[in-house]
Amino acid sequence: MDQRVIPIQPSAPSRHRRRQAPKGRQVDAAALLDVRQLLGDLPRRRDLLIEHLHLLQDRYRQLSTAHLAALAQEMRMSQAEVYEVASFYHHFDVVRHDAHNGDGAAPQAPALTVRVCESLSCEMAGAGDLLERLPGLLGAEVRVVAAPCVGRCEQAPVAVVGQHPVARAGAGDVVAAVNAGRTQDTPGAYTGLAAYLRQGGYRVLKECVSGARSVEAVIQAMEDSGLRGLGGAGFPAGRKWRIVRDEPGPRLMAVNIDEGEPGTFKDRTYLERDPHRFLEGMLIAAWAAGIEAIYIYLRDEYHGCRELLAAELDRLMADPPMSGMPAIHLRRGAGAYICGEESAMIESIEGKRGMPRLRPPYVAQVGLFGRPTLEHNFETLYWVPEILRKGGDWFASHGRHGRKGLRSFSVSGRVNKPGVHLAPAGITIQELIDEYCDGMLPGHRFYAYLPGGASGGILPAAMNDIPLDFDTLQPYGCFIGSAAVIVLSDHDSASAAARNMMKFFKDESCGQCTPCRVGTAKALDLIQAPQWDIELLADLSAVMRDASICGLGQAAPNPVDCVIKYFPHEFNEPGAATS
C-alpha cells in the first residue's frame, strides 16, 4: 500500500474576501480634519459643493487631491464626482497631493496669482506686452496667467492681482499693486439701502404685495413695455412671468449675473452703483410669478460686487420690505463662460459641472432642482421698478429707426469714451460712436465693429447704418446679444479679432458635444493658416450650427463667417491672415 503523504495545497483566496480598506484614494486623516474645521457647521448638501470648493481654494490657494478626497467623504459623494466638478472650472487649481517636482518636493501653491485679461479689447490695448513682461518683473513666487474676459473691457488692459483688478494696467501698476499687497477688490461708493429707501425705493414692491397693484396689471405693464431678456436671448419678460406662474409650485428663480461674454460689463456697472434697484425688480418678479426661493449666480471675477451684494442682502433681510420674503441664496461662479447659458448655470447652482441640458424640457417647466424656474438676467430685472413706476408705454416710447425701448450698450475698443451708454434701441453704430462715445481715438479711423460681443459677428464700418436691436442684425449674419459693442480701427484687423474669439470659444467649450469641442479647435487651426480653406470652414460652420447642443457652438462660427463674407481681402492677400 502506498504510504506516500500527499501535501495539501493552500486554498485560493476567495474572490469575496473582505477588503481591508475601501477601493480608490484613501482619505488622509489630516486632510479630513482640515476640511471639517473649514466647513464648520455649514450644511454638507450636494448643491453646496462649489461653495465648499471655493473655501478650500481660498484657504490653500489650490485644491489637493487629498482635500478633495476628504471633502468627498464629508459630503458623502464619490471622489470622482468631486474631482470632475473641481477640474471643470478655471478658478480651481487641482494638484495631486502625491505629485512631486523634479527635486522631490511636493508642489507648492503660488504665493499670488496675477491674471491678465486677453480678451479682444484688452488685447488691442496691450495685454500681450503685459503677459510678456510681468513674469520677469514679479519673480517666480507670483504666477502670471492669461485669463478670459474679466468684465472690465472699458478699463482695458486689465490685470487682476489676486482678487484686485488693476484698470488700464501698465507693468508698473501691476508691480506696485503686488508690492503694496493690494489683492482684494473692495466696493466703491454706491446707493445703499437707507439711501434707496429715501429715494422711494421698494415702494412699487410694497404696492404689489399690499394689493394696490394686481399681478395681472403688473404683468400686463411688462408686456406693454416690450422689455425683452437683456442677457442676450431676448425672450419677452412679461410672457416669461406668465409661463412660470402657470406651472405648478413650488417655483424657483435663478438670476444670471455671470456676464462672461467678451465685451460685456453693463451688469457689473449697474450693480456697483445701485444694487437695490435690481433687488426690488427681482422681488417684484418673484411675487408676480409666485416664487418660493431665489438663487443669484454671480461670476467669480466680481469680488467687490459679491461683498457689496452680500452686505446689502443682510440689511434687506434684517428689515424685509414684504412679508413672506422668498429665501435668497447668493452663489459664486468659478470661471466658466458656459455658465452664462441658463441650463448650464442651473447645473452649476446644483453643484455640478456647468454643462448645458438638452431641451425640451425648458427650464420654465423643469429647471433648478427639477422645479419650474424663472430665469432672468440682471439688467432685465434692473428695469422692472422704473417701468412699473412710469408705465410700460414710457419704456416703449424710446427708440430710433422704428425700434422701441432703451438699451445699455457696453462699448469698448478704439473710442474716446468707452463705458456703458444708455441709448435708444435701434441706434446705429455711427450714431453711438458720434453721440455717446465722443468719436474715435485720435489717429484711428473706424474700420469694423462687433455688435454683440464675441459671438455676435463682425461688420465693416461701411455697414454703419443698421439699427442695433433684436432681430435687426440676423439678416447680416450677426446679432446684438447683450449689446457688447467692440469698435475696431484701421490699426486692427477683423481676421485677428476672429482668431481671438475662436481661441476663446475653444478654451471655453464645455466639451460635452463633439461639434463644439472639436469644431472650435479645428476652426482655430484653419484660420491660423496662411491661406484659409473657405470650403472646409463653410462645412465646419454648418455642422457646428446644426448639431451643437447650445448657443456657444452654434454661434462660435459667426466671427469667421463674417470675415469671409465682409473682409475677404484680409485672408486672400499674401500675409494678411497673420497680421
Q: Phi, psi (5° rounding) for residue 98?
A: -105, 10
Q: Is the dihedral angle over the CA atoms 533, 539, 540, 542 positive or is it negative?
A: positive
What's the rounded Cα separation, in Å, for the pair 548 and 544? 5
- How far lies 390's CA from each of 186, 396, 535, in Å? 34, 11, 53
Any idea what DSSP says for residue 297? E
Cell numbers for 35, please give them. Answer: 476640511
For cell 447652482, the residue is 349
Helix (H) or strand (E) run with residue 539 in it: helix 534-547
Q: Phi, psi (5° rounding) for residue 165?
A: -75, 135
Cell numbers for 66, please give them. Answer: 487629498
What's the rounded Cα separation, in Å, for the pair 397 and 224? 11
| pLDDT given for residue 296 in this prediction | 98
DSSP β-bridge partners for residue 253: 294, 374
Q: What angle do CA 383, 384, 387 make, to 5 degrees?
A: 85
DSSP β-bridge partners for residue 376: 255
What's the rounded Cα separation, in Å, for the pair 177 and 338? 31
What's the rounded Cα separation, in Å, for the pair 182 and 176? 9
For cell 427681482, the residue is 282
CB 523 within 8 A of CB 540: yes
Using alpha carbons, select from 276, 113, 136, 253 the residue that is nearest to residue 205: 276
Cell numbers for 297, please give them. Answer: 449666480
CB neighbours of 110 closer than 8 A, spacing ≥ 6? Answer: 61, 141, 142, 143
| pLDDT given for residue 96 in this prediction | 78
| pLDDT given for residue 107 in this prediction | 73
Helix (H) or strand (E) run with residue 538 in it: helix 534-547
Q: What count of Cα atoms within 13 Å lies in the side-chain half-sphere of residue 193? A: 15
- Per DSSP bridges, beta strands 142-147 and 419-424 are unpaired
Cβ-count burial of 181 within 10 angstroms (0-12 exposed, 13-18 middle, 19+ buried)? exposed
Amino acid (1-letter code) at residue 515: P
Q: What angle do CA 175, 177, 179 make, to 5 degrees?
A: 65
The H-assigned helical ranges of 369-513 are 378-382, 384-390, 392-396, 429-431, 494-508
What's the rounded Cα separation, in Å, for the pair 69 and 32? 8
Q: What is the SS3 assignment for 263? A: coil
CB neighbours of 476 closer than 8 A, spacing ≥ 6? Answer: 457, 459, 463, 466
DSSP β-bridge partners for residue 236: 228
Cα 235 from chain centroid (whole Å): 19
What are the pLDDT tens digits along the chain (579 aa)? 444 544 545 555 555 666 555 566 789 999 999 999 999 999 999 999 999 999 999 999 999 999 999 999 999 999 999 999 999 999 999 997 665 455 445 578 999 999 999 999 999 999 999 999 999 999 999 999 999 999 999 999 999 999 999 999 999 999 999 999 999 999 999 999 999 999 999 999 999 999 999 999 999 999 999 999 999 889 999 999 999 999 999 999 999 999 999 999 999 999 999 999 999 999 999 999 999 999 999 999 999 999 999 999 999 999 999 999 999 999 999 999 999 999 999 999 999 999 999 999 999 999 999 999 999 999 999 999 999 999 999 999 999 999 999 999 999 999 999 999 999 999 999 999 999 999 999 999 999 999 999 999 999 999 999 999 999 999 999 999 999 999 999 999 999 999 999 999 999 999 999 999 999 999 999 999 989 999 999 999 999 999 999 999 999 999 999 999 999 999 765 444 433
Helix (H) or strand (E) run with residue 570 in it: helix 569-572
| pLDDT given for residue 104 in this prediction | 46
Using alpha carbons, select from 559, 235, 273, 228 the residue that is nearest to residue 420: 273
DSSP β-bridge partners for residue 406: 424
Cell numbers for 401, please give them. Answer: 429707426
- How far lies 303's CA from each of 181, 310, 354, in Å? 16, 11, 20
CB 448 within 8 A of CB 548: no
Using alpha carbons, select from 384, 441, 253 the residue that is nearest to residue 331: 253
Q: What is the SS3 assignment for 329? A: strand
Cell numbers for 67, please give them. Answer: 482635500
